[in-house]
Structure 1
Amino acid sequence: MVEGQEVGQKHVRFGGADLWLEGVMHWPAGAAPLPAVAVCHPHPLHGGDMESSVVISICEDLAGASIVSLRFNFRGVGRSEGDFAEGIGEQDDVAAALDHLGSSEGVDPGRIGLAGYSFGARVALPVALRNGGVKALALVSPFLTDDDWERTRSSTIPKLFLCGSDDGYISAHKIQRLVGGLAGPSRCEIIAGADHFWWGYEAQIARRVAGFFQAAFQVK
């Protein structure tokens, strides 16, 4: 831990140039430099923001695994500036979040991960594929197109896909089949009984995501 850095949550503002974004960093106890993960929230036009119970649960479990995390509001959400940008401009928001994490004192810039839930997963994926600084990727209930899968096929970074068996928006078993054709260490876990919203299953999701990054970053 960096001297003077408090354990717990810290509100931050980052970005600049075109717009500013708001976020919350979760700082765990532990000796710096620590690995870190940016966590992307679900669709803002359907009420998604960084206060999502899934997002918060993931950040809390990451802290328990001695991993820093940053949850943030996409442009036009909460106190973040700008307007909804159809998932395109939001990719710049993800890149800004990764830059903020990587430049934060106490964070190991060589151990940066990215996680996304639903719309957040859809936006996170292309950023992870083109940003060489992302060393591991976790996607929860991802909305992915055929083009997304094709672009992901050759990516060698560790990847975790989490789906609910009762998700009415995506096919968990189709995702499981497609993950089997990806390069690099990739796996899909299907949680029995869970739907797209994960009510009552947040702890299961968070535990799996934190364990995945803990292994990827070799955190003891």
Structure 2
Amino acid sequence: MPDVIINGPAGRLEGKYSPGKEAGAPVALILHAHPRGGGHMETPVNLMMYDLFKQRGFAVLRFNFRGVGRSQGVYDQGYGELSDAATALDWAQAHNPNAAYCWVAGHSFGAFVGMQLLMRRPEIAGFISVAPPTNMYDFTFLAPCPASGLIAHGEADAIVPPDEMERVMSKVRVQKGIEIEREIIPGASHLFTNHVEELEKSITRYLDRRLAQLDAPPIESKDKKKR
């Protein structure tokens, strides 16, 4: 798990990178919670998501947003952090030019940034959004959402009540064939303290099902088989 330094828009970005197991491995980018709320790339939720993608053969990158840890710069209200995420994804793709596809996974503020990123990057085939802060930021940019994904939210989230998340996400339009699934984790708080294992099980179920669909060979039509 090598340490990496990425040249970001506001200076260096500190990250951790795990190469894919095979040539052409897909890429996953992991985004942490709010820098001013104690978010950083080593939180339990971030580490868990990083490991889940690593176990599935992805080339995985997690990093600290500007002003966190050894990353340079200062907090920029989400605007600069989106640029950080785009730069980090560029770096991961440059190291994996034959990647089949990309995923983005984020917790809280990181979920907000990640969902903005997927609107700008058509190569992102799926997302995991943990406790998206729908009562703090405007999510109407998802118009329509271009990729399927999972939203996992804590039942006991006092910072972003699950009813608020449901209210916002139930109104999000999606492109044809796209589905945003939502799962409420019983008893879990916004940080998933003492409930990371339950969150991991939820994400595992979703990833295994979605990746099986993405990696399945295309089905030939009957007409094509006859030729």
| TM-score normalised per structure 2 | 0.83
Tell me, what secondary structure is at the counterpart of 1:208? helix
User: 1:96-137 CA distances to partner (integer Å, 9 max, x unpaired)?
Assistant: 1111111114x6434111111011112222121122222212
Q: Which amino acid aligns with 1:64?
A: Q
Greater relative contact order (CA < 8 Å, ≥ 6 in sequence): 1
Deviation at 1:178, TM superposition (A): 3.7
For the structure 1 residues 108 and 170, does the alpha-carbon distance in structure 2 shift closer, same or farther, using more than 3 Å as the test? farther
Corresponding residue for 1:206? 200
For the structure 1 residues 180 and 200, does the alpha-carbon distance in structure 2 shift closer, same or farther, using more than 3 Å as the test? same
Deviation at 1:177, TM superposition (A): 4.3
1 or 2, which has the higher strand percentage?
1
Corresponding residue for 2:153? 163
Q: Does 1:197 align with 2:188?
A: no
CA distance in 2, matches of 1:144, 1:13: 31
Deviation at 1:80, TM superposition (A): 0.8
Structure 2 unmatched ranges of 5 or more: 217-227
Which aligned pairs between 1:118-129 and structure 2 lie closer than 5 A?
A: 118-129=108-119
For the structure 1 residues 146 and 74, does the alpha-carbon distance in structure 2 shift closer, same or farther, using more than 3 Å as the test? closer
Tell me, what secondary structure is at the counterpart of 2:183? strand
Deviation at 1:207, TM superposition (A): 3.6
Q: Which amino acid aligns with 2:16?
A: V
Q: Which amino acid aligns with 1:60?
A: D
Tell me, what secondary structure is at the counterpart of 1:96? helix
Structure 1 unmatched ranges of 5 or more: 1-8
The alignment's C-alpha RMSD in Å is 2.2
Corresponding residue for 1:13? 5
Corresponding residue for 2:219? none
Q: Which has the larger radius of gyration?
A: 2
For the structure 1 residues 14 and 214, does the alpha-carbon distance in structure 2 shift closer, same or farther, using more than 3 Å as the test? farther
CA distance in 2, matches of 1:76, 1:185: 35
Deviation at 1:192, TM superposition (A): 0.4
Corresponding residue for 2:179? 185
Tell me, what secondary structure is at the counterpart of 2:140? helix
Q: Which amino acid aligns with 1:166?
A: A
For the structure 1 residues 215 and 13, does the alpha-carbon distance in structure 2 shift closer, same or farther, using more than 3 Å as the test? farther
Deviation at 1:27, TM superposition (A): 3.8
CA distance in 1, matches of 2:202, 2:28: 14
User: 1:16-51 CA distances to partner (integer Å, 9 max, x unpaired)?
Assistant: 5641101001345x3322112111111111221101
8 Å contact kept, 2:147–2:179: yes
For the structure 1 residues 93 and 113, does the alpha-carbon distance in structure 2 shift closer, same or farther, using more than 3 Å as the test? same
Deviation at 1:213, TM superposition (A): 4.0
Deviation at 1:147, TM superposition (A): 7.3
Q: Does 1:24 align with 2:16?
A: yes
Corresponding residue for 1:99? 90
Q: Does 1:50 align with 2:41?
A: yes
